[in-house]
Amino acid sequence: MYDTGKILAGIIIFLGAITFPIWYDAVTGKAATKPEPKIITSEKQCVESATYMRDYHMKLLHQWRDQVVRENMHLYKGIDGKTYNISLTNTCLNCHSNKKDFCDQCHNYVGVNPTCWNCHIIPEEKG
């Protein structure tokens, strides 16, 4: 085989790079801590179930966005039969006002940076 040395070196570097997430924690002990979003809401039930929200909150927000802005539908019938005013800042963040301890916990962990906050105002944290 030509260039055996270079090829073997390349393979070793490649394997090391691609398994980085696996060995980094074992070597440095610097694992990212598991996210623990804190729920401080007074309400016991969100507009949909917790499992649904965990999986599909972004999809729901897209539906909300299009329904309010483009279809002028301002109310949403939640899973509990209650009607909610569709608003990220004034409904979602009204309950989940602790963005740093709730939304950001998981978002930072997975490296997600939603651009909603460029426009939608983050209300002051309530304790």
**CA gap 60, 126 in Å, rounded:** 25
Residue span 2-41 as binding mask against another protein, x where in contact by CB under 8 A, dash where not: ----------------------------------------
Q: Shortest Cβ distance from residue 59 to another protein (Å)? A: 11
**CA gap 113, 111 in Å, rounded:** 7
48-80 core/surface letters (b: 16 or more CB in 10 A; e: else)? beeeeeeeeeeebbeebeeebeeeeeeebeeee
For residue 103, which of 84, 117, 119 has the smallest C-alpha distance? 117
Q: Which stretch binds another protein (CB under 8 A): 2-10, 12-20, 29-37, 61-69?
A: 61-69
Q: Shortest Cβ distance from residue 70 to another protein (Å)? A: 6
CA 85 to chain centre: 22
In the bound state with another protein, the residue whose beta carbon lies nearer, of 62 and 100, is 62
Q: Is 59 in the site for another protein (CB under 8 A)?
A: no
Residues contributing to the site for another protein (CB under 8 A): 63, 65, 67, 69-77, 83, 86, 89-90, 115, 118-121, 123
